Amino acid sequence: MGKPTGFMEYERMDNLALEPSVRIKNFKEFHVPMSEKDRKHQASRCMNCGVPFCQSGMMIGGMVSGCPLNNLVPEWNDLLYHGNFKKALQLLKQTNNFPEFTSRVCPALCEAACTCGLNDTPVTCKANENAIIEYGYANGLMDANPPKVRTGKKVAVIGSGPSGLAAADQLNQRGHEVTVYERNDHIGGLLMYGIPNMKLEKWVIDRKQKVMEEEGVRFLVNTDVGKDIKASELLKEYDSVILCCGASKPRDIKAPGREAEGIYFAVDFLTRSTKHVLSGKKDGWVDTKGKHVVVIGGGDTGNDCVGTAIRQGAKSVVQVEMMPKLPDERAANNPWPEWPRVCKTDYGQEEAIAVFGSDPRIYQSTVKEFIADKSGKLKKIKLVKLEPKKDAKTGRMNMVEIPDSEFEIPADYCLIAAGFLGPEEYIVKEFGVKTNERTNVATESGKYQTSEEKVFTAGDMHRGQSLVVWGINEGRHVAREVDEKLMGYSNLA
């Protein structure tokens, strides 16, 4: 612990965020890194506590507390405070293949579990992580380092999201020959097309892809396994195949009028927007400029839709949330170090408040009907208010309609951000793997091998819709299991 009094001497200070009126003019990242001196002060706030929940990644109260990657947070905070960026980077890379991603898009489970946050504000672990990895790139410490020895084993990874990239990176460093198949025109999965540029500019992904290619990983884009190439071909060519195709089947809203023109799944909308931002082409672009936009879903993806629509110049943006508003501060039954179930006003909602003068969220409501005009285009949405009621048989709390509480709001476009239901069926059928009751690819508990001997799985298609950090976690674990299968042992972390 480099500075025992750091947490008492310095207040938490986040990277400066550009004002909403400024940042909504483009799709660029909008946080400005602080000076090295100030960053060291923030690192000095780490208490190096006796029980560092920040790196635990354990279940507490039914929720994960701390980093699922078990990042060595106190250790690299201490090194950052002392100015030893090189050693801090070495420790960071021991547990995390992609700090350049997580330090931008992770909700910072580490900070929620920070001991300093019990009676004060938590350490800026996420921004500290970003400072370390960006120092590495700026100073040549992230240059390609291909393995010295090759094993002669070949592995195919299907899907290039966080889990697929992590598995590929680990297995390549082990010396296996790795080929990653991606059906889109760029790698990254939801990192590329599910997360807008203002949270993760795509040069960050391109930069890492270049390094991985120089280290020996082969990427084949525009290749849809199960359609462009058969599973039988891959199983014949490769010693192992890893399915990391995500939980890309979106949850729909089955309400009258669903066929109206102007209703899109959130990821489709975000994908089209990102392609437009990258290319400038308007083919297939959903332009919400001057339109009334309604977003169904209160999660991160819904917030990204709010921020995207505002940048496009929407006339109004409303975000519909089924559940009640969470408390602004921790409730008594949600003590530290549990994940804080509190209301978070994210960047998109901040921007909506700045532009329209009010929070865009409508709580305890759901869609009753989509209403179209005579030409079939969406013009209004009928919502109904909900209230929590306990089921007498199961004891579960359900959200039920309040009689005669319907109301209408204008809507030219509706973006459905209601989550995902598992992997797409064609890839599951192509490889003949079994699924569980949640339609995810089934494995033994704590394992990654599927019902087919040479086929493994990881990420969202294995555990269900989750965070980027969990995808990396699963990618690292499946890589170790595949390595053991191929070599009889594994030295992968």
CATH 3.50.50.60 fits 263-416, yes or no: yes
Place of tokens 């990427």: 219
Give the number of other Cβ atoms within 10 Å of residue 259's Cβ: 10
- Listing DSSP states for 364-393 in one string gives SEEEEEEEE-TTSBEEEEEEEEEEEEE-TT
CB 14 within 8 A of CB 125: no
Give the number of other Cβ atoms within 10 Å of residue 41's Cβ: 19
- What are the structural domain ranges in the chain? 6-138, 154-248+421-487, 263-416
Chain segment 377-436, per-residue pLDDT in tens? 999 999 999 999 998 888 889 999 999 999 999 999 999 999 998 999 999 999 999 999
Helices (H), 358-467: 425-431, 460-463
pLDDT (0 to 100) of residue 282: 83
pLDDT (0 to 100) of residue 125: 97
Tell me whether the omega of the peptide bond preceding residue 337 falls within 30 degrees of 0, making it cis. Answer: yes
CB 463 within 8 A of CB 474: yes
> Do 263-416 and 154-248+421-487 have the same topology in CATH?
yes
pLDDT (0 to 100) of residue 39: 97
Low-confidence ranges of the chain (pLDDT < 50): none
Residue 331, strand partner residues: none
Choices 3.40.50.1010, 3.50.50.60, 3.40.190.10, 3.60.15.10: CATH for 154-248+421-487: 3.50.50.60
Place of tokens 């240059």: 143
pLDDT (0 to 100) of residue 228: 97
pLDDT (0 to 100) of residue 394: 86
pLDDT (0 to 100) of residue 393: 85
CATH 3.10.180.10 fits 6-138, yes or no: no
pLDDT (0 to 100) of residue 1: 62
Chain segment 72-124, per-residue pLDDT in tens? 999 999 999 999 999 999 999 999 999 999 999 999 999 999 999 998 999 99
pLDDT (0 to 100) of residue 316: 98
Residues 6 or more apart in contact with residue 346 via CB below 8 angstroms: 300, 303
